[in-house]
Amino acid sequence: MLTIIPVRGIPDIKKGDDLGRLLVTRLKEQGDTFQPGDITVVAQKIVSKAEGRVVSLSRIAPSDFAKTIASNVGKDPRQVEVILRETEKMVRMKGGHLITETKQGFICANAGVDQSNVGDRDSVTLLPQDSDASADRIRKTIHEITGRIVPVIVTDTFGRAWRMGHVNFAIGVSGMKPIHDYRGTKDMYRRTLKVTEMAVADELACAAELVMNKADRVPAAIIRGYKAPKGHGRAKDLLRPEEIDLFR
C-alpha cells in the first residue's frame, strides 16, 4: 500500500534552521517515526528560507534592461532584476511571462524567483544554489538522528508546455536514482522496451503535493510503501541536454 503522510506543525522557517532535525521532531510529535523505505519530500520554499535565499526587493536597484523588460511584461522592475541575476539564458518572453534557464539548469518561469508564502511582502525567495546538496544535508541529518536511510526529494512547482495547470517537480534528489530505466526489459507482451525511462522522482514529487497544501503549512511529506530505485542520483539527471532538446 502506498501512503502519503503530511508532516504538520512546521513553523515559519528562518535562516539557519535545521530542516532534517525539524522533520524528525515534527513527525515524532504527530505519533510517527521514519520507517525503512520511507521517502522524504520537502518543498523548495522552506529549503530556500533555511539557506538564506531570501532577497528584500527594497535593496534591489533595477538596471535599465530590467526596467525595459518589466514595462513589457508588467512586472516589478526590482523583481525582474533579481530574475535576471538568477538567469543563465532567457528562453521565452511572451504575454507577461518570462521563461528562463536558471543557473542550476532548470527551465521554469521567472528563474524560480517567487513571492508566495514569504511573510515580508517586499521579499522574494530564490531557488537553492544547489538543491541536490540541500537534499543531501537533510538526508544525512535524518540518518544521524534516526539511523534510517531515507531518500530525500526537494520539490518546486513548475508549469508544463502543452498542458494546463502546475505540478511539483523534483529539483533536488539524494539517496535514490531519479529515473527508473525500463529500456531492455520486456512489456506484458514480451516486446523489448527501447525508450521508456520513468521520471519517478517527479512522480513522487507530484504525489506528495496532494497533501502539501500551500495554505495549510504542510511543506513536507513522507511517502511510504514505494520502493525507490536504489543508487546515487541527482535532480540534474532529469534535465534534458539542449543538444537533444527538440524545442530549444
Q: Can you tell me the distance from the alpha carbon of 171 to that of 194, in angstroms, rounded to the nearest whole number?
A: 26
Give the pLDDT confidence of 155-200 residue by residue, as tens digits. 999 988 888 999 999 999 999 999 977 677 767 777 776 667 789 9
Q: Can you tell me the distance from the alpha carbon of 66 to that of 73, in angstroms, rounded to the nearest whole number?
A: 11
Is pLDDT above 90 for 247?
A: no
Q: Among residues 108, 208, 112, 205, which one has the least CA distance to residue 161?
A: 108
Mean pLDDT of 15-29: 96
Is pLDDT above 90 for 241?
A: no
Q: Which pLDDT score, from 0 to 100, does residue 59 have?
A: 94
Tell me the sheet residues that pair with 65: none
Q: Where are the domains of the chain?
A: 3-52+128-237, 55-124
Q: Can you tell me the distance from the alpha carbon of 233 to that of 106, in angstroms, rounded to the nearest whole number?
A: 16
Q: Is 20 helix (H, G, I), strand (E, B) or coil?
A: helix
Q: Among residues 112, 148, 149, 153, which one has the least CA distance to residue 135?
A: 153
Give the pLDDT confidence of 32-51 residue by residue, as tens digits. 999 999 999 999 999 999 99
User: Do 220 and 206 meet the contact criterion of CB atoms below 8 Å apart?
Assistant: no
Is pLDDT above 90 for 248?
A: no
Return the percentage of the chain with pLDDT > 90, whole number.
74
Is pLDDT above 80 for 134?
A: yes
Q: Which pLDDT score, from 0 to 100, does residue 43 have?
A: 96
The single-letter DSSP state of residue 36 is T
Mean pLDDT of 46-72: 94
Q: Which pLDDT score, from 0 to 100, does residue 196 have?
A: 76
Q: Which pLDDT score, from 0 to 100, does residue 194 have?
A: 67
Q: Is 144 helix (H, G, I), strand (E, B) or coil?
A: helix
Fold match flag (3-52+128-237 vs 55-124): no
Q: Could you tell me which residues come within 8 angstroms of residue 56 by beta carbon, excluding any fewer than 6 positions away?
A: 120, 122, 123
Q: Can you tell me the distance from the alpha carbon of 90 to that of 98, in angstroms, rounded to the nearest whole number?
A: 8
Q: Can you tell me the distance from the alpha carbon of 156 to that of 44, in angstroms, rounded to the nearest whole number?
A: 5
Is pLDDT above 80 for 216?
A: no
Q: Can you tell me the distance from the alpha carbon of 152 to that of 137, in angstroms, rounded to the nearest whole number?
A: 9
Pairing of strands 3-6, 220-224: antiparallel
Which residue did the predictor score with more confidence, 74 or 207? Answer: 207
Mean pLDDT of 82-92: 93
Mutual angle of helices 131-146 and 19-29, in 10-degree steps: 50
Which of 4-13, 62-71, 176-185 bottoms out in mean pLDDT, i.e. has the lowest? Answer: 176-185
Look at domain 3-52+128-237 and name its CATH class.
alpha beta
Which residue did the predictor score with more confidence, 5 or 197? Answer: 5
Is pLDDT above 70 for 7?
A: yes
Q: Which pLDDT score, from 0 to 100, does residue 182 have?
A: 63
CATH topology of domain 55-124: CofE-like fold (3.90.1660)
Q: Which pLDDT score, from 0 to 100, does residue 215 have?
A: 67
